Structure 1
Amino acid sequence: MSQRKNVLLIVVDQWRADFVPALGAGFLRTPNLDRLCKEGVTFRNHVTNTVPCGPARASLLTGLYLMNHRAVQNTVPLDARHTNLAKELRRIGYDPALIGYTTTTPDPRTTGGKDPRFTTLGDLMDGFRAVGAFEPSMDGYFGWLAQKGYQLPAKREDIWLPEGEDAVPGVTSRPSRIPAELSDTAYFTERALTYLKGRNGKPWFLHLGYYRPHPPFIAAAPYHAMYRPEDMPALHRQPQWQDEAKQHPLLDFYLHGISQGSFFHGAGGAATELDAEAIAQMRATYCGMITEVDDALGHVVAYLDETKQWEDTLVIFTSDHGEQLGDHYLLGKIGYHDESFRIPLVIKDPAAPAGSAGRIEDAFTESVDVLPTILDWLGGSAPRACDGRSLLPLVAGERPADWRQHLFYEFDFRDVFYSHPETTLRLHMDDCALCVVQDEDWKYVHFTTLPPLLFNLREDPQQFHNLASDPACATIVRDYAQRALSHRMRHAERTLTHFRATPHGLEERQP
């Protein structure tokens, strides 16, 4: 490898871990992701530290747990005092480029109340140079369509309706009204190639974001018909959605409240009304969108191959969060189920020792580990406040003796403009939180005020049976609750805790 070091951070949206062929999803066609897995290391036990998009991306790009960055929901501001990956890259001489979005709401203390960024779901995180922005309100993409000569409908989101005047919004086997060459996936890819071709040999960092397979669940031709519903994996759910609702008050709330309209443009009805056949079709469409993203990545990889940059580039492929896809009768990324939190992570390190390529790594890893990994590879160091650790030793096949023994992730379900669990469950907004401690054997879910959950993962991998109130499991509940408390104490905010004032002046102690 030469001295020229590039980083390609690929962040897809709503792609769950069990839809990766290297991890068992043999029904999928993803030749470019397959190549990346063969040349890099695939992480089997990787989670996002929180959901949904804004909080998840805040953790990914700051290296902080939700309990520390506190951008707890989409539209909740991110405190300006926190550093992030882009700002740290600038410290070591990189001009970090971003294609896509970060769903970040700015700190209101740094601007005025009329700032247009407070009227959208989220904007771009400070420090990045936008070279293909999607936000605000997807204006970048829709402007690109207009520039390409595409006649946008009066309601521009109608491009994601099924093709044909007689089409009914909802689950469909029909393609979307937008052709594949003008899809948002095509837009992001063109922006990426435009940026890379303009670098003229200079080292680069690119956050390449893709909107898919995020809903609306509708794919452009030919991807809409690439997969058969009957080939999709089986659903994980109880015989009736009411059976699932009995498990916990929060799950009961979501099962009563999730509508199809957030997942199929223009659709109505409750998500629980979707039968198994409809969900199988939805999953086939989801797979089509995945393959479209993979094909698009193929163009980027081909350019890096052609220009001999692939061999100098650290490539990281991941997602912001997962997707329920009908499991437990849920759609979206919510609650405490694995389908929402387990996500792909693949790392290709051109400096990794021979023999490391193609491995599946079983160590517990989290999205907060991405920032320190990138900085480590470029010769920088993670900020003191960072909650993650560099994954380069794991990529090299060397697991540190003190590596984490469990996964930790969180969800804050306070009222936001599209959902109101706080009101329905009669909770104060600061009591609307849960955290999860999970290892190979047990999964413990602790709520601020609601009842806890405990699942025996060896006997109940789909987490249907809550054992938290079983007297035989009282010791396990205690032990895992103590783990959760100790984990939070260990990762409490610590930006300045290694400094001391001394008679000789300021002293910085090494952690």
Structure 2
Amino acid sequence: MFCRFLCWMKLNVFILALLGTFGCSFSGHTEKQPNIIFLLTDDQRWDAMGAMGNKIIQTPNMDDLANNGVLFTNAHVTTSICCSSRASILSGQYVSRHGIEGFRTPFSPAALQQTYPMLLKNNGYSIGFIGKYGVGNPQDFPDSLYHYWGCDALHQPNYENEDGEGNFIHYTDIVSSRINEFLERFGKDEKPFCLSVSFKAPHCQDGDPRQFIYAERYKKLYANVEFALPETAGSSYYSFFPQDFRIPVFNGVERQNEARKRWEIRFPDKEKFQESVRSYYRLISGVDDAIGILRKKLEEIGKAENTIIVFMGDNGFYLGEHGLAGKWYAHRESVKVPFFVFDPRADESQRGKRVDEFALNIDVAPTILSLAGVEIPETMQGINALDLLSHKTPEREMFFYEHNLDIPTIPNSEAVISKKYKYIKYADLSTPFEEFYDLENDSLEKVNLVGEEKYADAVQEFRKYLEVMGNEVK
């Protein structure tokens, strides 16, 4: 069934790519190529945005774009870690195909030419990249291939910086100033542009006990908010995992699971939990302010009406659920992300739409190419996500998730996720461990149904899906 489904998807992508070469967009426009800005946040989970139902977080600019565009309410990543997910976003491919499984692995020169920025460059676009690139070592960054390169020679930029006069400047503000610089240089030309912006926020500052370092002006924001502990924060939800998940053994040495190690830094008690979540939210509100500045600049240079804004998080983030911090595993908190497309050229009938079908990070590249009227390469495994809105492409019944990073303290896993069920397998543990959830009745993934007679057939079916789909994505 999955093989037939994948072939059908590829046929639709090919047909729609041909349509795209004639300048069609989801709103029916045939005018000149639009400008495109892709915004990526780091570790922003799906519900950390007002438009996704969060009543506490202040994200008015994200919300306005999402509520006046197309909001994908069921968007997920196919690998939940920055280097691999970013490579999937750029290439439109699963990790099994693009091969970026670690922080030091760059794209090959040939693979780089098949990423969406290079394909747009070859079709007349000025291209820029700002912020955290995140694929390969800094010496491998493709800065010379971009018309504007605003990334620092660091894999993980620092939040705390100094400007030319020795004054403190937060990294989100540096990114914001570089966006303005790009728009000043390239936004006034007749030539279309594509700017990819990759914020560090709300990622933690690794190695710093403060973790989520926000600009001082946000200190009072959320100060009086009391955040509710997740329902799955109790110790029983972590002790549920087997011993070699909690204490992996590498070269004969026991080490603590990285997700639990970071939990002990961020969520060990009520006070630390509250401060961590407040600070995490403050970083996201900082990004939202930068988006507001970006929109004002587009208005100022007269490009707001022809500039599409695409937004996504590179992966989700545990805020203590399942006794974990970080990401990496296939639970909802880790894999579900915000995703929307705002096209100011769209008809009123196409605004404020919500799509509940599965959209994936591998869909970003083909969606951007389609909006630009550029053919989607056959090597891309994603789809133009906007075709889900008009039902021009078949709904995904399920999707494959993989995480094979070579870090001993993060056990590898694979999963198959449908709207009804989720199956997760940790094959590399000494005794392979499985999780199976009935998502319709257990959205928080509290009760593992492996071993329950009622679900035995469903578990066995998903085991087969995992094997077949894992082979298909390569």
Question: Could you tell me the TM-score, scaled by structure 1's length?
Answer: 0.77
Give the whole-Å Cα distance in 2 for the aligned partners of 1:474 and 1:138.
44
Tell whether 2:409 aligns with 1:421: yes
Distance 1:490 1:459 in 2: 30
Contact 1:377 1:392 in 2 (8 A): no
Contact 1:247/1:466 (8 A) holds in 2: no
1:45 maps to which of 71, 74, 83:
74
Moved more, 331-340 or 220-229: 220-229
Q: CA deviation at 1:221?
A: 1.9
How far residue 139 of structure 1 moved from its aligned partner, in angstroms, is: 7.3
What's the counterpart of residue 398 of structure 1? 390
Change (3 A) 1:80 1:203: closer
Paired with 1:238 and 1:217, the residues of 2 have a C-alpha distance of 20
Give yes or no for contact 1:64–1:388 (8 Å, CA) kept in 2.
yes
Residue of 200, 204, 220 corresponding to 1:211:
200
Show the counterpart of 2:45: 16
Q: Separation in 1 of the partners of 2:41 and 2:273? A: 22
SS of the equivalent of 2:183 reads: helix
1:244–1:251 CA contact under 8 A, matched in 2:
no
1:305 to 294, 299, 320: 299
Equivalent residue in structure 1 for 2:346, among 344, 352, 362? 352
Q: Identify the residue that residue 131 of structure 1 maps to in structure 2.
A: 149
Match of 2:59 in 1: 30
Show the 5 A alignment for 1:139-154: 145-150=162-167
C-alpha distance 465-139 of structure 1, shift in aligned 2 (>3 A): closer
Is 2:439 the counterpart of 1:410?
Answer: no
Which residue in 2 is equivalent to 1:220? Answer: 215
1:437-477 CA deviation, whole Å, 9 max, x = no partner? Answer: 11221101133342222111122222122212223322101
The answer to whether residue 454 in structure 2 is matched with residue 472 in structure 1 is yes
Which residue is 1:155 aligned to? none
Indicate which of 356, 374, 393 corresponds to 1:362: 356
Q: Secondary structure at the match of 2:232?
A: coil
Residue aligning to 2:207: none
Q: Are 1:105 and 2:136 an aligned pair?
A: yes
Partner of 1:435: 414
Distance 1:298 1:382 in 2: 31
Q: CA deviation at 1:321?
A: 1.0
Within the candidate set 93, 99, 106, 2:124 is matched to 93
Give the distance between the partners of 1:259 and 1:487, measured in 2 at CA: 27
C-alpha deviations, 1:354-400, integer Å up to 9, x for none? 32211221010000000001111111111111110001223xx3123
Q: Secondary structure at the match of 2:315?
A: coil
- Does the Cα contact within 8 Å between 1:10 and 1:317 map onto a contact in 2? yes
* Structure 1 segment 424-503 matched on structure 2, within 5 A: 433-449=412-428, 450-492=432-474
Deviation of 1:45 after TM superposition, in Å, equals 0.6
Deviation at 1:252, TM superposition (A): 1.9
Distance in 1 (alpha carbons) for counterparts of 2:156 and 2:325: 23
Q: How does 1:29-428 map to 2 (within 5 A)?
A: 29-82=58-111, 83-105=114-136, 117=139, 123-124=141-142, 127-136=145-154, 145-150=162-167, 178=168, 182-199=169-186, 200-201=188-189, 202-215=191-204, 216-228=211-223, 230-240=225-235, 243-249=237-243, 251-253=245-247, 256-258=256-258, 270-271=264-265, 274-394=268-388, 397-400=389-392, 402-415=394-407, 420-421=408-409
1:220, CA displacement in angstroms? Answer: 1.8
- Taking the aligned partners of 2:472 and 2:199, their CA distance within structure 1 comes to 34
- Deviation track 1:318-368 (CA, whole Å, cap 9, x = no partner) reads 111121122222111222221111111010123434322112210100000
Closer, same or farther: CA 94–64 of 1 in aligned 2, 3 Å: same
Q: CA deviation at 1:236?
A: 3.3
In structure 1, the residue matched to 2:25 is: none
| Aligned-partner SS, 2:351 | coil
- Output the CA distance in 1 between the equivalents of 2:260 and 2:324: 10
Instruction: Find the residue that maps to 1:458 and give its secondary structure.
Output: coil
Q: Is the 8 A contact 2:132 2:198 kept in 1?
A: yes
- Give the counterpart letter for 1:477 in structure 2: V
Deviation of 1:130 (Å): 4.4
Does the C-alpha gap of structure 1 residues 141 and 286 become closer, same or farther in structure 2, counting only changes over 3 Å?
closer
Deviations 1:484-505 (A, max 9, x none): 333334433xxxxxxxxxxxxx
User: Which amino acid counterpart does residue 99 of structure 1 have in structure 2?
Assistant: I
- Rg larger in 1 or in 2? 1
Contact 2:259–2:327 (8 Å) recurs in 1: no
Q: Indicate the SS of the match to 2:286.
A: helix
Contact 1:455–1:467, Cα closer than 8 Å, also in 2: yes
Q: What runs of 5+ residues in structure 1 fail to find an aligned partner?
A: 107-115, 151-177, 264-269, 423-431, 493-511
Distance in 2 separating the partners of 1:356 and 1:139: 38
Alpha-carbon contact 2:120-2:369 (below 8 Å) kept: yes
SS in 2 for 1:8: strand
RMSD: 2.7
Q: CA 1:479 to 1:257, structure 2 compared with 1: closer, same or farther past 3 Å?
A: closer
CA distance in 2, matches of 1:451, 1:259: 17
> Shift of residue 46 of structure 1?
0.3
Moved more, 219-228 or 310-319: 219-228
Does the CA contact (< 8 Å) of 2:36 and 2:309 recur in 1? yes
